[in-house]
Amino acid sequence: MKMSSSSNSTCAACKFLHPKGTQECVFASYFPPDQPAKFASVHKVFGASNVAKIFNELSTSRREDTVHTLAYEADVRLGDLVYGCVGIISSLLQEIELAQTKAEIALLGAAQLVDPFIYNEQK
Amino acid sequence: MKMSSSSNSTCAACKFLHPKGTQECVFASYFPPDQPAKFASVHKVFGASNVAKIFNELSTSRREDTVHTLAYEADVRLGDLVYGCVGIISSLLQEIELAQTKAEIALLGAAQLVDPFIYNEQK
C-alpha cells in the first residue's frame, strides 16, 4: 500500500499492518512513514479497524483532526492505563473549582477592605 | 462463558462476542449482563482485545476504575467522533482561562475601589 500523495513511501499504518500490501490505504494521508510511533499508539489503544470505522462515518476534511485527537488520547491512555484522558478532565475540574474558590476568597477580602463596616453588618 | 460471580447470567461482553463460549471471561466482573450498551460502546471504540491487553497490564484491583474511564471515554467519542474527550479538555482549559481573567478583572476593580488614588498612580 502506497501513500495517496506523490510520495512512494509506505505509510506508518501500512508498515505496521501489511508491509507487502498493494491497495490504497485509508490511513496513508494521516500517518506519515516518519511517525511510526503515532500509528502504533493509536493502533494499540483503539485498533486500526475501529479507527477505519470512525473514518467511514466522517468526511475526509474531518479525519485529520480526528487522527490528532485519537493520537493524543492514545498517548495519554498509554501513559495512564487506568484513567487516560478522564484523569486530565478530573484534574482540570478540580483546578476550576480551586480557581473559583480563590477568586471568591480574594473578592471577599477586597469587599472587606472597601467597607469593613458594611461587610460586617451583612455578615 | 459465565460470570465469575455466583450469577449464572452470561456477561455483556460474552453475550456480544461469543454467546456460546464456555471458558471464564476476563470481562465478566466488569460488564454486567444488564448493561449491554456499556460493553458495546467500549468494544466499538477500543475493541475487546485491546481492553483485554490493558487488563493484562493491570492488577485486578485497578480494572474496575479502568472500565469506568474507558466506558466514559468511549461514550464521549461516540458522541463526538472528531474530538472525543480532547474536546472536553479543550473546553475546560478555555473555562480556566476565562475564570482567571474574570478573577483578575474583579480584583483590579476591587483594588480601584479600595484606593483609587494609589491605583491610578501605579497605572
Nearest to B78 by CA among A26, A58, A72: A58
Question: Which grid cell is B95?
Answer: 473555562
Disruptive mutation site among B85, B90, B107 for chain A (greatest number of A CBs within 10 Å): B85
What's the confidence (pLDDT) of residue B76?
98
Contact between B54 and A99 using a beta-carbon 8 Å cutoff: no
Query: Rounded CA gap, A94 and A71, in Å?
Result: 25
CB pairs under 8 A between A and B: 121
Q: Is B98 on the interface with A (CB under 8 A)?
A: no
Contact between B114 and A113 using a beta-carbon 8 Å cutoff: yes
Rounded to a whole number of angstroms, the distance from the CA of B117 to the nearest CA of chain A is: 14
Q: Is B40 on the interface with A (CB under 8 A)?
A: no
**Which residues are CB-contacts of B63 (< 8 A; sequence separation ≥ 6)?**
B29, B30, B55
pLDDT in tens, B14-56: 777 766 665 678 888 899 888 899 999 999 999 999 999 999 9
Handedness of CA B19, B38, B45, A79 (dihedral sign): negative
Contact A1, A14 (CB under 8 A): yes
The segment with the largest mean pLDDT, out of A9-23, B21-35, B105-119, is B21-35
Contact between B92 and A92 using a beta-carbon 8 Å cutoff: yes
Record the pTM: 0.79
Residue B7, pLDDT > 60, answer: no
Alpha-carbon torsion angle B47, A83, A76, A62, nearest 10: 60
Disruptive mutation site among B43, B64, B77 for chain A (greatest number of A CBs within 10 Å): B77
ipTM at complex level: 0.78
Q: Spell out which residues of chain B touch residue A103, defining contact as CB-CB under 8 Å.
A: 99, 102-103, 106-107
Rounded to a whole number of angstroms, the distance from the CA of B17 to the nearest CA of chain A is: 15
Mean pLDDT (whole number) for B4-17: 64
pLDDT in tens, A72-107: 999 999 999 999 999 999 999 999 888 888 778 777
Contact between A86 and B84 using a beta-carbon 8 Å cutoff: no
pLDDT in tens, A28-70: 889 988 889 999 999 999 999 999 999 999 999 999 999 999 9
Nearest to A92 by CA among B91, B68, B69: B91
Contact between B85 and A86 using a beta-carbon 8 Å cutoff: yes
Q: Which residues of A20-57 are buried (b: 16+ CB within 10 A; e: fewer)?
A: eeeeebbbbebbbbeeeebbbbbbebbbbebbeebbee
Q: How far is CA B60 from CA A47, A82, A102, B67, in A?
A: 23, 11, 39, 11
Taking the alpha carbons at both ends of chain B, their separation in whole angstroms is 73
Q: Is A96 on the interface with B (CB under 8 A)?
A: yes
